[in-house]
């Protein structure tokens, strides 16, 4: 089953843009970082978010209409995998770069994905 991300959902995309316009987040990438930390903190009991002022941000969002809709979509279990797959496809389709550059970019993005999504796993420890 294919899940819809905010990129294809105008209503949710508008909510996220409003959150950024209101200064709640510095931009969409800042929202992604927060949403990722939010997902991990709700899914894992012992997870300690490393997003600065995480709890303050949650308190702020509780008072904003429709913020829960944006968080619900972006913290969907398929969201991060979809986001990763789209960025990898973009990297691998770059015909104007040498193969070694494409491989290095893909490896860097994969390592970043692992560090963001699975920060305390043995795989990430092996990266360091």
Give the Cβ contact number of residue 78 at 10 Å.
13
Same domain for 35 and 63: yes
Which of residues 52, 76, 100 is at a domain's end? 76
Q: How far is CA 37 from CA 12, 27, 44, 73, 97, in A?
A: 19, 16, 10, 14, 33
What one-character DSSP code corresponds to residue 60?
A: H
pLDDT tens sequence for the chain (128 residues): 334 455 556 678 888 889 999 999 998 888 878 887 887 777 667 778 888 889 999 899 988 888 888 887 766 666 667 667 777 788 888 888 888 888 888 888 888 877 877 777 777 777 75
What is the predicted pLDDT for the residue at 2?
Answer: 38
Domain count, the chain: 2
Indicate whether 23 and 54 sit together in one domain: yes
Looking at the structure, tell me whether residues 71 and 92 fall in a common domain.
no
Q: Which DSSP symbol is given to 8?
A: G
| 23 φ/ψ sector (left φ>0, alpha ψ -120 to 50, else beta) | left
In a domain, 1, yes or no: no
Are 26 and 67 members of one domain?
yes
pLDDT at 42: 73
Domain encompassing residue 93: 80-127
């Amino acid at each position: 089953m294919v899940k819809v991300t905010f990129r294809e959902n105008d209503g949710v995309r508008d909510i996220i843009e409003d959150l950024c316009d209101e200064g709640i987040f510095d931009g969409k990438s800042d929202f992604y970082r927060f949403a990722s930390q939010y997902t991990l903190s709700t899914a894992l009991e012992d997870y300690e978010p490393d997003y600065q002022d995480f709890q303050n941000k949650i308190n702020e969002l509780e008072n904003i209409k429709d913020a829960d809709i944006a968080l619900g979509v972006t913290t969907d279990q398929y969201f991060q995998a979809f986001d990763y797959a789209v960025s990898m496809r973009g990297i691998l389709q770059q015909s104007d770069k040498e193969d070694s550059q494409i491989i290095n970019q893909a490896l860097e993005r994969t390592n970043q994905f692992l560090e963001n999504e699975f920060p305390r796993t043995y795989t990430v420890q092996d990266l360091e």
